[in-house]
Amino acid sequence: MLRFIVRRLLQMVGVVVVLSMLLFVWLHSLPGGTVSALLGDRATPETRAALEEALGLDRPIWVQYGAFLSRALRGEFGASTGVLPGTDALTILLNRLPATIELSFCAIAIAVLLAIPLGYLAARHRGSPLDTAGILTSLVGVAVPVFFLAFLLKWGFAIKLHWLPDGGRQSVFATHVTNFFVLDGILTREFDASVNALKHLILPAIALSTIPFAVIFRITRAAVLEVLDEDYVRTAEAKGLTSRVIRGRHVLRNAMLPVVTTIGLQIGALLAGAVLTEKVFNFPGIGDALALAFEQRDYAVLQVLIMAAAVVYVLVNLLVDVLYAVIDPRVRTR
């Protein structure tokens, strides 16, 4: 098991190194390059040359990559130019991280808690109205653009009905300890603040959860259908095991393998949806910062956020692989 984890960790380091190269190439191919991004289009050739020298852009490309890498390892990505001008890009990431973690956690929780039981029931009662409704929902869920769903929820429940706030994270004054607003309210015993923060989370979390829900539902349904058909389930039935034991030990455990992988992939991919959802709801998380950074071409913020997103994605996948090996002993020996 340890060897398996070490091997996967080494592979992960390789992927991250290649990713950093890609990011470096990407930064260099941005319109006008770094200098134009920092100085604008109207800078004189002299100022451009001076900045190029100061930034080391006149040196060979591998020297530049080395410098980029060493700065990245020390967490120096430069100051933001658009999102929050003058602030260190890494600070922006760290300040906004709790908001996105809170939102992602809610979205994934909604998706998993609904999709797995529904997927299981749909498979057990194949062809029933529940099955059909589930399949239809998951098909429509994938066909609706995430940001439009966010629009729709905001328009209906916030603008028209005024049931829930139309954006932001919190609309009451509260003390913040950890920057996880819901948690902060509990820690400081300001429960109203927690409830307020939760209300702000509901609509964006629902919008963000649709795609994970659709995908996890379909994978669960397919996996359970496949397992229900296996010989060992028939054997278990023939042996006269109670249906609770069959369901728990034989069906669910085996069907969970592809589901776990899918949940991992969906958590990793959540940030792309968060960019769109957070923008619609002005939710001050990483996604909103990314949307702003794309709009204003804030390259310092872009590089730190994209690298962070990729590292999180790779880490989650590593975690899923390890979990997979825990559930399925066959994986370890491969």
Under a CB-based contact definition with an 8 Å cutoff, are residues 217 and 119 in contact? yes
How many residues make contact with another protein (CB under 8 A)?
A: 45
Establish if 233 lies at the interface with another protein (CB under 8 A).
Answer: no
Binding mask 157-176 for another protein (x = CB under 8 A): --x-----------------
CA–CA distance, 9 with 177 (Å, rounded to integer): 33
Establish if 294 lies at the interface with another protein (CB under 8 A).
Answer: yes
CA–CA distance, 228 with 247 (Å, rounded to integer): 9
Binding mask 244-273 for another protein (x = CB under 8 A): ------------------------xxxxxx
Angstrom CA distances, 301 to 100, 130, 176, 194, 304, stand at 16, 45, 24, 29, 5
Establish if 147 lies at the interface with another protein (CB under 8 A).
Answer: yes
Of residues 139 and 245, the one with the C-beta less far from another protein:
139
In angstroms, what is the minimal distance from the CB of 317 to another protein? Answer: 7
Touching another protein, residues 9-28 (CB under 8 A):
14-15, 18-19, 22, 26
Per-residue b/e over 88-101, b at no fewer than 16 CB within 10 Å? bbbebbebbbbbbe
In angstroms, what is the minimal distance from the CB of 129 to another protein? Answer: 15
CA–CA distance, 16 with 42 (Å, rounded to integer): 36
In angstroms, what is the minimal distance from the CB of 216 to another protein? Answer: 16
Establish if 155 lies at the interface with another protein (CB under 8 A).
Answer: yes
Establish if 313 lies at the interface with another protein (CB under 8 A).
Answer: yes
Per-residue b/e over 232-264, b at no fewer than 16 CB within 10 Å? ebeebeeeeeeeeebbeebbbebbbbebbbbbb
Of residues 15 and 174, the one with the C-beta less far from another protein:
15
Q: What tokens were used for 285? A: 């998380």
CA–CA distance, 175 with 187 (Å, rounded to integer): 10
Establish if 276 lies at the interface with another protein (CB under 8 A).
Answer: yes
Of residues 182 and 292, the one with the C-beta less far from another protein:
292
Of residues 23 and 182, the one with the C-beta less far from another protein:
23
Cα 324 to chain centroid, rounded: 20
Establish if 68 lies at the interface with another protein (CB under 8 A).
Answer: no
Establish if 317 lies at the interface with another protein (CB under 8 A).
Answer: yes
Establish if 280 lies at the interface with another protein (CB under 8 A).
Answer: yes
Single-letter amino acid, residue 293: A
Cα 291 to chain centroid, rounded: 14
CA–CA distance, 14 with 24 (Å, rounded to integer): 16
How many CB atoms are closer than 10 A to CB 115?
A: 29
Establish if 86 lies at the interface with another protein (CB under 8 A).
Answer: no
Touching another protein, residues 113-142 (CB under 8 A):
139-140, 142
Establish if 72 lies at the interface with another protein (CB under 8 A).
Answer: no
Sites of contact with another protein (CB under 8 A): 14-15, 18-19, 22, 26, 29-32, 139-140, 142-148, 151, 154-155, 159, 268-273, 275-276, 279-280, 290-291, 294-295, 297, 302, 306, 309-310, 313-314, 317
